[in-house]
């Protein structure tokens, strides 16, 4: 298994992986990946693919976002989406992609990487609730426990404020968890 930055020839295979991972009802996530690639928030070195026997089987993207802190804008990483082809799920590939993405964000010297998703999954991989660090989620449609951060070496405790996602998340209405059952589980677990 190889994890590397995505290349131009990976565009089609990445779209297939994202669609397979999220399902046909969530084609908007494929559109989000394409829109993020075309935006100023995109960093090619932070869009990674997992390749197994020459096939793209996983993908993760970290784009540029911000914290609207009281005294300045602080650039941070926004991790979304993380996709693993269903026939490769459950073998640690998502964790490997996530760890590599955080390592690359560390290299960029961002203080934080933010994500919305399962606290059990991301919490077990070093993420913690953002609100406990004084960070407000970008939308009330994200359950507070689901909005999480990974603190990186450049983090300092004075960073607080509202997280601002790149425009494509808003233009495609991709802010907030879309699975009502997941939202209910997260809110129940608190």
Per-residue pLDDT, 190: 61
39-79 pLDDT, tens digit per residue, is 999 999 999 999 999 999 999 999 999 999 999 999 999 99
pLDDT band with cut points at 50, 70 and 90 for residue 178: low
Q: What is the pTM of this model?
A: 0.94
Give the percent of the chain with pLDDT over 70: 98
Fold designation for 2-189: Aminopeptidase (3.40.630)
Tokens coding 158: 């004075």
Indicate whether 20 pLDDT > 70.
Answer: yes
CB-based contact 118:146 (threshold 8 Å): yes
If one counts every other C-beta atom within 10 angstroms of the C-beta of residue 162, the result is: 12
Per-residue pLDDT, 177: 74
Round the average pLDDT of the chain to a whole number and report it. 94
Scanning the structure block, which residue is given the tokens 């993020």? Answer: 36
pLDDT band with cut points at 50, 70 and 90 for residue 82: very high
Angle value at C-alpha 128, between 160 and 155, nearest 5 degrees: 45
140-155 pLDDT, tens digit per residue, is 989 999 999 999 999 9
pLDDT band with cut points at 50, 70 and 90 for residue 181: confident
Q: For residue 183, what are the contacts with CB-CB under 8 A and spacing of at least 6?
A: 143, 146, 177
Per-residue pLDDT, 170: 96
């Amino acid at each position: 298994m190889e994890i590397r930055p995505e290349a131009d020839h990976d565009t089609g295979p990445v779209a297939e992986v994202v669609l397979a991972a999220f399902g046909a009802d969530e084609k908007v996530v494929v559109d989000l990946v394409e829109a993020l690639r075309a935006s100023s928030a995109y960093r090619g070195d932070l869009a990674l693919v997992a390749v197994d026997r020459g096939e793209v089987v996983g993908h993760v993207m970290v784009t540029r976002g911000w914290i609207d802190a009281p005294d300045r804008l602080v650039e941070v990483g926004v991790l979304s989406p993380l996709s693993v082809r269903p026939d490769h799920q459950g073998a640690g590939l998502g964790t490997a992609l996530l760890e590599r993405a955080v390592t690359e964000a560390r290299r960029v010297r961002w203080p934080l990487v933010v994500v919305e998703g399962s606290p059990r999954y991301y919490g077990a991989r070093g993420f913690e609730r953002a609100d406990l660090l004084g960070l407000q989620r970008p939308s009330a449609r994200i359950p507070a426990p689901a909005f999480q951060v990974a603190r990186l070496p450049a983090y300092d405790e004075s960073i607080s404020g509202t997280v601002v996602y790149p425009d494509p998340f808003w233009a495609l209405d991709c802010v907030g968890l879309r699975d009502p059952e997941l939202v209910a589980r997260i809110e129940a677990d608190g």
